[in-house]
Structure 1
Amino acid sequence: MASTDEDREFNGKSKDAWNVQHIDLVFDSNSDRTMFPNPLSQRPNTPLCWFVDGDDAVAADVQVDTEGVSSEGIKIKAEAFPLAGPRLNIAFDPQKSIAAVVTCGGLCPGLNTVVREIVMCLRRQYGVPTIYGIPFGYRGFQDRPSWIKLDEKKVRNFHNMGGSFLGSSRGGHDTNAIVDALVEAGINLLFVTGGDGTLRGAAKIAEEIQSRGIEIAVAVIPKTIDNDIPLIDRTFGFESAVDAARRAIDVAVTEAQGFPLGLGVVKVMGRHSGFIAMHATLGSRVVDLCLVPEVDFYLDGEGGIVDHLANRLLENGNAIVVIAEGAGQDLMATLGSNGVTKRDASGNIILDDVGPWLIQQLEPRLNEKVKGKTPFNDQIKFKYVDPSYMVRGIPPSTNDNNFCTQLAHNAVHGAMAGMTSFLVASVNTRGCYLPIDLIANKQNVIDTSNQSLWSYVIFDTHQPTFTQQDDCQRRSDSRMTASGGVIIG
């Protein structure tokens, strides 16, 4: 899928060519390598329009900057990605192919659905006879006897299960050992599901495979309930996590309303990106304060959260706070935190627990603010809800199940076509392929500088913005995602 400089048509007018991202292939595209007909095309009455042309692409951004209209038409400059889907010709003989599937990192709703649909697509649509499930993440490649043979019967009910049937782990990555295991088992199709650390590991595997001159396709289905993968619409499991977080907010509301001056505090996942907190806040419409890692907040003084919460408590008799786990870390370090810097096996910083810390900071301040202002001289009644594992260990919603199906099948189509070192995603609601190195070491964070979903949070909660005018940046300097994010890194 190399980029081209061909002139194309846009609304009947000439324009600059779209810059379509290149996706690596397991073979030299200029060689006379034998390709195989897609088994799907051999089925009776299969419409040719179901197959994707090699030049089809998806625009990275639906909002484009125009350079003005002239007699030559509208000139548009935008990035695009190859459209996902089955190709008429594929790179591997399905009957001689062997596939492996591995899940890495934290658990997430939809992991089992992804595994199920990879197996279903490989077996039913392509006829691949042998598929291995690698247990407990990357380290499982070094334990060949523990590999699980997957077939339609084995995975039939996976989509109704939370967690990961294969198990998962962080770390355990040994590039050479993994590639050795793939070669020894004759595997030519590798499907990896995980977050940013997993993406980097998959890129290393693909690089080592290429350096050895081996034809093995490496496909990644990005996974994180934090929704922090850049460029793409969303990650699977995110919507299920938001729904679970909203149910936790409902519990906090019930508890807070049961007592005078009840203050419900709900801590949700979101190490560096506060998308779960933001979307759950907007979905509930009952939150008075939403705190996310992308926005620094302060406690005292004009525009601080203490005054804001005191006013809401005295006005309504109760209030709700939603806070992402990564929020307020700098403030905690300044005012005193509960631990020292530690990292997990994936290299992620283990954050101090902001929920109890926030309550500890708010209790004396708020009690001082409301002192003597109620008929019975009430004090704040804190109700703390931490649904962390209830959020990520649940079965996926119907919408996430459908989304996982789309991602898994498109991953199989891309790998069978000979693509490698790519991830499959939805961009502007269309499935497409992105090179791993375009995503690795970058993050999707809430866009607070342009008109986005974050502005709705401010309007809905009436909370302070905590931002300054000079914090804003021009729209052309950023690329926003459908979930209200912007790329950093």
Structure 2
Amino acid sequence: MIEQKDLLVSGLGDPVHPSPLCFESAKRHGGRHFVSESERVRLDITEGGGRAVQTPLTLEEAGPRERLFFDPRATTAAIVTCGGLSPGLNNVIRSVFYELSENYGVPKVLGIRNGYRGLNPAVGKRPILLNRELVEPIDKLGGTALGSSRGPQDPRVMADFIEAQAIDILFCLGGDGTQRGAHDLHKELQRREAKVAIVGIPKTIDNDISFVHQSFGFATALDKAHEVIQAAHVEARDAVNGIGLVKLMGRHAGFIAAGASVVSQEVNFTLVPEIPFPLEGKGGFLESLEDRVRRRGHAVVVVAEGAGQHLFEGKAGERDASGNLQHEDIGTYLRDRIKAHFAEREFEMTLKYLDPSYFIRSVPANGFDRFVCDQMGRHAVHAGMAGKTGVMIGMEHGHYINVPIPAVVSRTKTLDVGGDLWRGVLQVTRQPRW
């Protein structure tokens, strides 16, 4: 259980340098745009419902500070992107670079190559010096201009590299595993009493990082998933007893599957990791699907990659380089079971299976995600320049916040099956309430 002390952000020391940022205008004094250390955001803004009244937990508001820990003219920063791809990575890199160089006047910004491998000289490539010519066009492209990789590196080796390169601030773009690695590196630097700020920027297309209401890449994923679902619907509708089966991302959380189903309005069954569903028997998925096809002549099924893992009990799952448990392939499993079910009943059926996961991950960010990327990147720079460390940028209730990384990785964010989103799925699909 998280307590208020767990939400207090660490700093490297007293901020003594005046910020070079200027927000002055004819109508507003610049000081009103700076955020004070006393400004905080409530974690839970709801009340009532029979819950006991408690002192509300609060989080530090993100934003530019009037006084900085680092002298911008003598600061070296670096950016690293880790883990799987997500729309918007290049947008974040670009905004971090421009906020550092154009607004703060930081003279040197390094790009770390291929994730945390780039902080280990034995296995990684040398960092590159970022400049306008390199960074200016990358926001139009998918992927990451710096490359990425999965898996940790020895924090001692990474800390040696950071000290050798005289890096003052390291921005770590990545998901849960990346933030754990950032925290391990932060602890090693603390042990050495090194004045280096480690700032996390959350990257998860699955939208499953705590303290982040909506991560960048998620809106783009819904857009592209919707296009695929519409294609599956056309294929199913125009075939004899057609079924469109779409597997979407969502290892532990069903946000993309649920959100895309609501956006599409054409989905009849949405299967997510949070709800184990019965496969066989009366009221089970297969019989419910058969009933839908008999009544309407077609059906569309959306399944998150982490759904239905209870159907594989007894199989020992492997882990990837980031330590994530590798799930069994629920998409191909359902494809084969659906075909077998209809064949056993001698019921003619046409099934089209679509798995667009790598396509969705690699596309450029849409307009909304570009905005989120820009804000996340610039708020990360504000936190780093102020000397905040071991911190990740979050977003709750429309406010950007500074959150200690240990608090982030201590919780798992999953779909609230009693909330509005899942209620919307049930209303759209009218599927059984397993």
Instruction: Identify the TM-score tier after normalising by the shorter chain.
Output: over 0.9
Match of 2:325 among 328, 349, 362: 349
Return 346-355 or 193-202, whichever deviates more. Answer: 346-355
2:18 is the alignment partner of 1:49:
no
208-217 or 101-110: bigger deviation = 208-217
The within-5 A match list for 1:126-205 is: 126-143=104-121, 146-205=126-185
RMSD: 2.1
* Among candidates 19, 23, 43, match of residue 9 of structure 2: 23
Aligned to 1:257: 237
Shift of 1:190: 0.7
Unpaired segments ≥5 residues, structure 2: none
SS of the aligned residue for 1:342 comes to coil
| Residue among 382, 391, 404 paired with 2:360 | 391
Cα contact 1:187–1:216 (8 A) shared by 2: yes
Instruction: Decide which structure has the larger Cα Rg and report it.
Output: 1
CA offsets, 1:116-148, max 9 Å, x none?
Answer: 100000011100000000000001012386211
Runs of 4+ aligned structure 1 residues displaced above 4 Å come to 42-46, 65-68
Report the alpha carbon displacement of residue 367 of structure 1 after superposing the two structures with TM.
4.1
Task: Provide the rounded CA distance (Å) in 2 between the counterparts of 1:367 and 1:429.
Answer: 51
Assess, with a 3 A threshold, how the Cα gap between structure 1 residues 431 and 42 changes in structure 2: closer, same or farther.
closer
Q: 1:34 to 1:445 in 2, by over 3 A?
A: closer
Q: Deviations over 1:240-272 (max 9, x none)?
A: 112111111011111111211000000011111
Aligned residue in 1 for 2:342: 366
Q: CA deviation at 1:302?
A: 2.4
Q: Distance in 1 between matches of 2:386 and 2:71?
A: 10
How far did 1:456 drift?
1.8
Which protein, 1 or 2, shows the higher relative CO under an 8 Å CA cutoff with sep ≥ 6? 2
2:21 is paired with a residue whose SS is helix
Unaligned runs of 5+ in 1: 4-17, 28-32, 69-74, 372-377, 467-489
Residue equivalent to 2:391 = 422
SS in 2 for 1:445: coil
- Please tell me whether the aligned partners of residues 20 and 81 of structure 1 are also in contact (alpha carbons under 8 angstroms): no
Shift of the 140–200 alpha-carbon distance from structure 1 to 2, 3 Å rule, reads same
Asked whether 1:64 is paired with 2:50, we answer no
Cα offset, 1:351, TM superposition: 1.6
Quote the Cα distance in structure 2 between the aligned partners of 1:289 and 1:42.
Answer: 51
Residue of structure 2 in register with 1:409 after alignment? 378
Comparing 301-310 and 36-45, the one that deviates more? 36-45
Report if the CA contact (8 A) 2:35-2:64 is conserved: yes
Q: What's the TM-score, normalizing by structure 1? A: 0.84
Q: Match for 1:101 among 79, 101, 108?
A: 79
Alignment of 1:322-337 (within 5 A): 322-333=302-313
Distance, in Å, in 2 between the alignment partners of 1:240 and 1:93 is 37
Q: How far apart are the structure 1 equivalents of 2:182 and 2:15? A: 27
Change (3 A) 1:306 1:187: same
- Of 416-425 and 341-350, deviating more is 341-350
- How many percent of aligned residue pairs carry the same amino acid? 37
- How far does the alpha carbon of each residue in 1:147-166 deviate from its partner, in whole angstroms, 9 at most, with x for none? 11112222111211101110
Q: Is the 8 A contact 1:39 1:126 kept in 2?
A: yes
Partner of 1:247: 227
Q: Which moved more, 1:355-364 or 1:97-106?
A: 355-364
Matched residue SS, 1:266:
strand
Cα 1:464–1:66 change in 2 (3 A) is closer
Q: Distance in 2 between matches of 1:441 and 1:198?
A: 14
**Matched AA of 1:347:** G
Matches within 5 A, 1:197-276: 197-276=177-256
CA distance in structure 2 between the aligned counterparts of 1:224 and 1:366, rounded to whole angstroms: 37
Tell me the residue number matched to 1:445: 414
One-letter code of the match for 1:384?
Y
Match among 92, 96, 102 for residue 124 of structure 1: 102
8 A contact 1:19–1:78 mirrored in 2: no
Letter in 2 for 1:47: G
Find the counterpart in structure 2 of residue 454 from structure 1: 422
Count of residue pairs the alignment pairs up: 428
